Amino acid sequence: MGDNHQNPVLKYLRADRLPTMFCPGCGIGIVMTAFMRAVDELELDPKSMAVITGIGCTGRIGGYLKMDSLHSTHGRALPAAIGAKAVRPDLRVVVFLGDGDGLSIGGNHLIHAANRNHDLCVIMVNNMIYGLTGGQASPTTPVDIKTTTTPTGNMNRPFDVCRLAVAAGARYVSRWSTLYPRELKESIKKALSGDGFRFVEALSQCPPEFGKLNDLRDARNLAEWITIRTSYGIQALQEVVETGRLPVGEFVGA
């Protein structure tokens, strides 16, 4: 096949590190592809970008991209990104977080980075569990979901991280799942093009950990389960609590 038919995202990947370590059915590859397509459509120069990640499955994204990247310690991706931006304000700094890495261990950093309006594009892959470290419950694990630390079902109401980002003052906030790849890509384009603190949440399936513990090992069934939990048009907090569904779409900066 000639170069004219080559997938446009391949030029952003380190071919010598492929295939990725992501498990079959994992949604992180979809999020990474949406990001690369956003970069390509915006015609951004990868040399003008820096990718900062934390520990976890999502943290591996930086290692596959042909961009300067830093794999920071668990929960500390945002402080590292703030430091990178302070030293090199000319760089477009992108932060990839997982829900455990970014909202539990690094939750305080997320709140204050949004509140202080640091000029960062933050993409959080939310698979609602600690995927890499053993399947423990995370701050976004839904009620009654089984994990290795909640074997009879989670009793705690999960965080709505987008609502948290809005309350903290983020300039742009959106949420999609991996079944909305085009909408996710367009949101990432907006986040990459803006300034201040921009936040995109991507709900993602994790068949090996979340799935196996909750009879949703088939990635298609798990993706459909996530879709059922999301809905357009639900904005009121009481509706979210009563229905257990999360609103998807753009909430700030649309």
E-strand stretches of 99-210: 120-126, 172-177, 197-203
Q: What is the pTM of this model?
A: 0.93
pLDDT band at 1 (very low <50, low <70, confident <90, very high): very low
182 within domain boundaries: yes
Residue count of the chain, please give it.
Answer: 254
Q: Please say whether the dihedral angle defined by the alpha carbons of residues 163, 149, 209 and 221, taken in this order, is positive or negative.
A: negative
SS3 248: coil
pLDDT band at 36 (very low <50, low <70, confident <90, very high): very high
pLDDT of 210 higher than 60: yes
pLDDT band at 75 (very low <50, low <70, confident <90, very high): confident
140 within domain boundaries: yes
Distance CA 164, CA 201 (A): 12
**How many domains are there within the chain?**
1
Domain at 82, CATH number? 3.40.50.970
Beta carbons of 177 and 248 less than 8 angstroms apart? yes
Structural domain of residue 81, as residue ranges? 23-228
What is the per-residue pLDDT across 158-200, written as a single tens digit (0 to 9) for each?
989 999 999 999 999 999 999 999 999 999 999 999 999 999 9
Beta carbons of 223 and 202 less than 8 angstroms apart? no
